[in-house]
Amino acid sequence: MMSNQAIIDKGQQYVMNTYGRNPMALVKGQGSWVWDAEGRKYLDLVGGIAVCSLGHAHPELTSVLREQSEKLWHCSNLYWNLPQVELAEKLCQATGMDKAFFANSGAETIEGAIKLARKYFRRKNQNRFQIIAFKNSFHGRTTGALAVTGQSKYQQGFEPLLPGVLFAEFNDLASVESLITDQTAAVLVEPIQGEGGVNPASHSFMQGLRELCQKKGILLILDEVQCGMARTGKMMAYQHYGIQPDIVTLAKALGGGFPIGALLATDEAATGFAPGDHASTFGGNPLGSAVGSKVVDIISQPSFLNQVNATGSYLQEKLQEIVEKDQRATAVKGLGLLLGIEFSVEVKELVNTCVKNGLLVISAGPRVLRFVPPLNITKEEIDQALAILEKSLEEWQR
Ligand SMILES: *Cc1c(COP(=O)(O)O)cnc(C)c1O
């Protein structure tokens, strides 16, 4: 067995230096727990950043992956494959959307959404190409997704970026309205800004955006890569707001850890794409689709969603108690099991202290401690996590 340090040393020699990583290598996971190369056990409230929604090594996911791997791994979208078609059907039925396109990551679904919106209007001979996105948003690291991400720290050094992108203020409908022209194609928004600090959109903002886009003939694109797939206690975060988008993007939790992303659209918006307009070699391949299908089966059960709501409320309550006790903590933010504690100081050292004490947590921006645990985490595990968090808060020096 290699030690953590031996793996780190080899990684530093051969892997590009793009991540600020914790000083350990993970080798095994089971449910809400992971183990490092030296057998140390951690309670995982990161879940691969809102990806491992059913925890690690979920028996139904490992068995569907094994079964599909013995039939067909990959066959190209030159041909139909049943797992992809079934996943599309299940996603549409669970979300009220009509058509799916499959990709492999969140950023790729954003690329697809931008292309779909632009082609939709070009097909109608309308010169609408501008995308209104939001300050403090996050949509991924590919060049197109970067261009619609409203945080300069991610963009710096990569200019010139894709043109035709404007940034409005999140939760400020008037700021969107003032940017709309006869060249606006779409408004792109996260119902809950994840990386930007776990900031939920207000009801009036989301409903106002829906009405505004309808009135102006603009497409509403929702990025649910992080907040979708039952994370907030409903299948999709937009269902909390009583609206339907024209286009919605999914990835992270869709494959429970298997890389897959999806772009869902209404029949009308989907007319933007015709054969040859968009494609992906791996998108919707049988392995990823079979796993995604099983994920949707499990998380769309009413009893599962009830459980997410119950666990989310419990964690939220407990985090609120922390905010009331700890001077440095200012607020609890989020919905369901996408939660954060906002602090008045940077949380980097707190994250490190938690990890040292056996709890994986992550920040969202400099001052928010984010919790995106497996959706099937138990109340007992939440209690264990809270005990480690409280101990870490005591040790944490400003
Ligand atoms: C993570 C994330 C993305 C990017 O997903 P990748 O799979 O890393 O490309 C896009 N949008 C949101 C809201 C995300 O949280």
User: Among 231, 397, 202, 398, which residue's Cα sits nearest to residue 304?
Assistant: 231
User: Alpha-carbon distance 263 to 102, whole Å?
Assistant: 6
Helix (H) or strand (E) holding 61: helix 59-69
Question: Residue whose CA is closest, atom 15 of ligand 1?
Answer: 226
Q: Which tens digit of pLDDT belongs to each residue from 305-347?
A: 999 999 999 999 999 999 999 999 999 999 999 999 999 999 9
For a substitution probing ligand 1, which of 141, 252, 368, 372 has the most ligand atoms within 8 Å of its CB? 252
Cβ of 195 less than 6 Å from ligand 1: yes
pTM of the model: 0.98
Cα distances (angstroms) measured from residue 223 to each of 132, 262, 331, 386 = 13, 11, 24, 30
**Which three-class secondary structure state does DSSP give residue 99?**
strand
Q: Which tens digit of pLDDT belongs to each residue from 110-149?
A: 999 999 999 999 999 999 999 999 999 999 999 999 999 9
Q: What spacing in Å lies between the alpha carbon of 112 and ligand 1's midpoint?
A: 13
Is residue 258 a contact partner of residue 102, using CB atoms and an 8 Å limit?
no
User: Alpha-carbon distance 179 to 380, whole Å?
Assistant: 49
Percentage of the chain exceeding pLDDT 70? 100
Q: Closest ligand 1 atom to the C-alpha of 224?
A: 13
Name the DSSP class of 162: P
Q: Under the phi-then-psi rule, with left for phi > 0, alpha for psi from -120 to 50, and beta for the rest, what region is 136?
A: left
For a substitution probing ligand 1, which of 51, 225, 247, 263 has the most ligand atoms within 8 Å of its CB? 225
Q: What is the mean pLDDT of residues 161-190?
A: 98
pLDDT for position 163: 98
**How many helices (DSSP H) and strands (DSSP E) are in the chain?**
14, 17
Cβ of 224 less than 6 Å from ligand 1: no
User: Among 351, 292, 396, which residue's Cα sits nearest to residue 45?
Assistant: 351
Cβ of 376 less than 6 Å from ligand 1: no
Neighbours of 155 (CB within 10 A): 14
Q: What spacing in Å lies between the alpha carbon of 326 and ligand 1's midpoint?
A: 31
Cα distances (angstroms) measured from residue 150 to each of 106, 220, 268 = 16, 17, 28
Residue where the block lists tokens 């299948």: 235
Q: What spacing in Å lies between the alpha carbon of 224 and ligand 1's midpoint?
A: 9
Res 398 pLDDT > 70: no
**Which three-class secondary structure state does DSSP give residue 135?**
strand
Percentage of the chain exceeding pLDDT 90? 99
pLDDT for position 354: 98
Q: Which tens digit of pLDDT belongs to each residue from 59-88?
A: 999 999 999 999 999 999 999 999 999 999
Q: What is the dihedral of CA 198, 204, 206, 207, to 10 degrees?
A: 160
pLDDT for position 57: 98
Is residue 368 a contact partner of residue 42, using CB atoms and an 8 Å limit?
no
Is residue 359 a contact partner of residue 385, using CB atoms and an 8 Å limit?
yes
Q: What is the mean pLDDT of residues 5-25?
A: 97
Question: Residue whose CA is closest, atom 10 of ligand 1?
Answer: 139
Q: Closest ligand 1 atom to the C-alpha of 227?
A: 13
Res 150 pLDDT > 80: yes
